[in-house]
Amino acid sequence: MSTQHEVAAVRVAPERRAVMLPRGPADASMRAAAGGRPAAGTPPARIRAAIVGATGYVGAELVRLLTRHPNVEIVGLVGRGRTHEPIGGTHIHLDRTGLHVDAVVPDADAVFLALPHGAAAEIVPDIAATGAAIIDLGPDFRLRAAADYPRWYGFEHPRPELLDGAVYGLPELHRDALGGLRDAAIAIVGAPGCYPTATLLALEPLAVAGLLSGDVIVDAKSGVSGAGKSPSERTHFSENHGSVAAYGLFGHRHTPEMEQALGLPVTFTPHLVPLDRGILATIYARLVPGTTAAQVSDALTAAYADAFFVRLTGDRLPEIKHVAHTNFCDIGWRVDEATGRLIVVSVIDNLVKGAAGQAVQNMNLMFGFPEGQALDQLAVVP
């Protein structure tokens, strides 16, 4: 699937209205009474959402979650070369939603982009010009420096001036910045990748507290759905089942995302494991000399005191089954004070907390909804 094909086949509807700020009309009568703008301080009651790239795994998860959201109406699903195609033809489990896939981005208050790298950056300016909030689940607005895109993603960023204003969508650590987008003229969120989500939630509070020293090693395992819906030899059942494969050594595209947030060199080795979903990251780091286990615990506890979706397990190391099909990130750790070594184990569901669920969490913060709206499901076990 070429980026050029994706961009050419996905179009923004002409003559779209601009969404008035702050984002999210409370209801039609309030919109009319306020001349298109909701009353000050009033959270919106219902917004219109569109999903671009709805035919992939992440798009399907977005549909599943947003259909549960009491404040959201899905007004459009978008896929390349589609014309009023029932979503059930691609995702049979979504058939009863009655939704269809088209090639045009409809008028919406929030637009989710689940596209290949380079594709979102081409259409974001047109969507942003309408005032719609944009949550990009690809990499096009994750990195702050435009110069990093040719090296890591193989394309020149077409709108580098938009990078500075984009907010990195890790809600637990950037909640205020996300909320601030409600009054911004242009609201773009670059949602984190799945591997960086698991890694940064585990380490960023420690880096901010000045407890880490030297480089970081991230050894992470992901289920096969992380490779996307399009089949390949790598994801073929007979090739993947009963095996574990490392890939992307010294060159994985999520590496600069981690280094950007931590301010430390990261050695990242991902592995493909024969699971349908989930990520387990085992992270090795050096602590500043003299750092105690209590300091590590205090830094993480303080960072996530009000974070419903981050569960600190301490010495009880978490497992993928504990978070499957949920928006939770579970973090456990051990400290060897004698050597100053830290091992952290972080687990997420790559399609929910690592993608669609976190995107909905971002939307909730941007529009003033309860942060956990539509995301309160528990793990599915066994």
Domain holding 277: CATH number? 3.30.360.10
- Shared domain for 140 and 36, answered yes or no, is yes
This prediction has a pTM of 0.90
Residue 165 corresponds to which tokens in the numbers above? 């204003």
Residue-range definition of the domain harbouring residue 54: 3-164
Q: Give yes or no: 194 in active site.
A: yes
- Shared domain for 45 and 92, answered yes or no, is yes
Instruction: Report helix angle 255-262 to 194-208, nearest 10.
Output: 20
- Shared domain for 222 and 328, answered yes or no, is yes
Cis-peptide, bond into residue 231, ω within 30° of zero: no
How many residues are listed for the chain in this entry? 382
For CA atoms 291, 297, 298, 301, give the dihedral sign: positive
Residue 68 corresponds to which tokens in the numbers above? 């549960």
Considering the candidates 194, 206, 218, 312, report the single residue annotated as catalytic. Answer: 194
The answer to whether residue 73 is domain-embedded is: yes
Phi, psi of 310 (to 5 degrees): -115, 120
The answer to whether residue 359 is domain-embedded is: no
pLDDT at 29: 37
pLDDT at 234: 80
Give the alpha-carbon dihedral of 238, 240, 243, 249, to 10 degrees: 140
Phi, psi of 110 (to 5 degrees): -135, 135
The answer to whether residue 278 is domain-embedded is: yes
Tens-place pLDDT, residues 286-313: 999 999 999 999 999 999 999 999 999 9
- Shared domain for 7 and 145, answered yes or no, is yes
What does pLDDT average to over the chain?
90
Mean pLDDT to the nearest integer, 226-230: 87
Instruction: List, in sequence order, the alpha helices (H) in 81-141.
Output: 119-128
Mean pLDDT to the nearest integer, 33-46: 51
Number of alpha carbons in the 13 Å side-chain half-sphere of residue 78? 28
The answer to whether residue 113 is domain-embedded is: yes
pLDDT at 5: 41
- Shared domain for 124 and 200, answered yes or no, is no
Q: Please enumerate in sequence order all residues whose Cβ is within 8 A of that of 295, keeping only pairs 6 or more positions apart, or say none.
A: 209, 211
The answer to whether residue 110 is domain-embedded is: yes
The answer to whether residue 375 is domain-embedded is: no
Name the pLDDT band for 191 (thresholds 50, 70, 90). Answer: very high
Tens-place pLDDT, residues 82-129: 999 999 999 999 999 999 999 999 999 999 999 999 999 999 999 999
Residue 46's CATH number: 3.40.50.720
- Shared domain for 146 and 227, answered yes or no, is no
pLDDT at 42: 62
Phi, psi of 322 (to 5 degrees): -70, -20
- Shared domain for 334 and 250, answered yes or no, is yes
Mean pLDDT to the nearest integer, 265-283: 97
Q: Is the pLDDT of residue 325 over 60?
A: yes
The answer to whether residue 247 is domain-embedded is: yes
